[in-house]
């Protein structure tokens, strides 16, 4: 709590909003403060859920859970995400709010690269191992960095499928249009859009296998893309694995 009685994160949020509204604020400071403002909003969502579930575990035992699904909800799955719309707003960097050995399947795609590695990524995989029932499975899809790098040596032209597909998601062709820009996009994916979350780590099949094996999963295999579960727009340029506890 701040001396005013307002939670200190809320007070900081107000101060940041006022600095951001000041036209004298430099571009560099504004970028940093926008990132902080976003974390404050997520902190607020997370703490609202933590007040409902102070033990950090929900009472329900959903059989199937999607993490970081955003607007892509999957029928029959309990959706956990930092921000709405989701069944539970929870910051996975703080742990998975599920009881031990309770869930049969955890699904995520284009989520893991948005959390910091090694701290949060390794903790997420260890938490998934704890929450999964024996024989339970975790399916993980990420942008395939190996695929992106394999394109680097090739010539690129404006009609290249790589460019067209990567840019379909937003209009940045004017700025990101060389072969190295495309590599940067997968490894760093930055955007000045305040709602955008950058990529913090890049993955390929080998890295995913290492991550899940290290956390104690018995098998880690390629997962055959299933558009009834996965977001169809993720089929191209992604790598998926399924790991079994
Ligand atoms: C690029 S979107 C992918 C959405 C969806 N999976 C898809 O493929 O269309 C990344 C999602 O991960 C969520 N996310 C990022 N960091 C998270 C965290 N620490 N805890 C929970 N969700 C997180 C974001 O809120 C966002 O919905």
pLDDT digits (tens, 9 = 90+) for 173-232: 777 778 888 888 888 876 666 667 789 999 999 999 999 999 999 999 999 999 999 999
Beta partners for residue 222, in sequence order: 241
User: Could you tell me the residue range of the domain that residue 124 belongs to?
Assistant: 64-144+203-244
- Cβ of residue 231 lying under 6 Å from some atom of ligand 1: yes
Residue 194 located in a structural domain: no
Q: How many CA atoms lie within 13 A of 27 on its CB side?
A: 2
Residue 209 located in a structural domain: yes
Residue 34 located in a structural domain: yes
* Ligand 1 atom at shortest distance from the alpha carbon of 108: 6
* Ligand 1 atom at shortest distance from the alpha carbon of 69: 6
pLDDT value at 164 more than 80: no
Of 127-131, 135-139, 147-151, 238-242, where does mean pLDDT reach its minimum? 147-151
Residue 41 located in a structural domain: yes
Measure the CA–CA gap between 165 and 111, rounded to whole angstroms.
Answer: 19
What's the pLDDT score for residue 154?
Answer: 77
- Cβ of residue 205 lying under 6 Å from some atom of ligand 1: no
Measure the CA–CA gap between 189 and 198, rounded to whole angstroms.
Answer: 5
Helix (H, G, I), strand (E, B) or coil at 155: coil
C-alpha distances (whole Å) from 200 to each of 115, 120, 143, 168, 225 are 6, 11, 12, 21, 24
Q: Kindly tell me the sign of the dihedral angle through the C-alpha atoms of 169, 84, 73, 58.
A: positive
72 shares its domain with 139: yes
Is 45 or 148 the better-scoring residue by pLDDT? 45
Measure the CA–CA gap between 170 and 90, rounded to whole angstroms.
Answer: 27
**Number of structural domains found in the chain:** 3
Cis check: omega of the bond before 85, within 30 degrees of 0:
yes
- Cβ of residue 136 lying under 6 Å from some atom of ligand 1: no
Residue 38 located in a structural domain: yes
Measure the CA–CA gap between 217 and 244, rounded to whole angstroms.
Answer: 6
Residue 195 located in a structural domain: no
- Cβ of residue 234 lying under 6 Å from some atom of ligand 1: yes
> Nearest CA to 86 among 145, 42, 125?
42
- Cβ of residue 83 lying under 6 Å from some atom of ligand 1: yes
Is residue 130 packed enough to be buried (19+ CB in 10 Å), middle (13-18) or exposed (0-12)? middle
- The CATH number that applies at residue 129 is 3.40.50.150
Ligand 1 geometric centre to CA of 107 (Å): 12
**Sheet containing strand 238-244, strands side by side:** 88-89, 78-81, 64-67, 103-109, 132-143, 238-244, 219-222
């Amino acid at each position: 709590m701040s001396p005013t009685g307002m939670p200190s994160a809320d007070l900081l949020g107000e101060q940041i909003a006022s600095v951001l509204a000041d036209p004298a604020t430099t571009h560099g400071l504004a970028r940093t403060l926008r990132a902080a403002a976003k974390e404050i909003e997520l902190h607020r969502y997370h703490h609202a859920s933590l007040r409902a579930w102070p033990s950090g575990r929900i009472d329900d035992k959903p059989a199937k859970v999607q993490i970081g699904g955003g607007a892509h909800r999957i029928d029959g799955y309990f959706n956990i995400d930092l921000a709405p719309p989701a069944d539970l707003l929870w910051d996975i960097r703080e742990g998975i709010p599920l009881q031990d050995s309770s869930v049969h399947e955890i699904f995520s795609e284009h989520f893991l690269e948005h959390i910091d590695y090694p701290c949060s990524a390794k903790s997420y995989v260890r938490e998934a191992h704890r929450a999964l029932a024996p024989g339970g499975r975790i399916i993980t899809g990420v942008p395939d960095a190996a695929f992106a790098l394999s394109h680097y040596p090739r010539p690129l032209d404006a009609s290249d499928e790589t460019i067209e597909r990567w840019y379909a998601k937003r209009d940045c062709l004017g700025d990101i249009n060389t072969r190295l820009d495309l590599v940067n996009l997968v490894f760093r994916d930055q955007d000045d859009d305040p709602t955008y979350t950058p990529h913090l780590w890049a993955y390929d099949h080998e890295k995913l296998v290492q991550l899940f094996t290290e956390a104690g999963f018995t098998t880690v295999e390629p997962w055959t893309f299933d558009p009834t579960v996965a977001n169809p727009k993720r089929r191209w340029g992604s790598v998926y694995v399924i790991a079994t506890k």
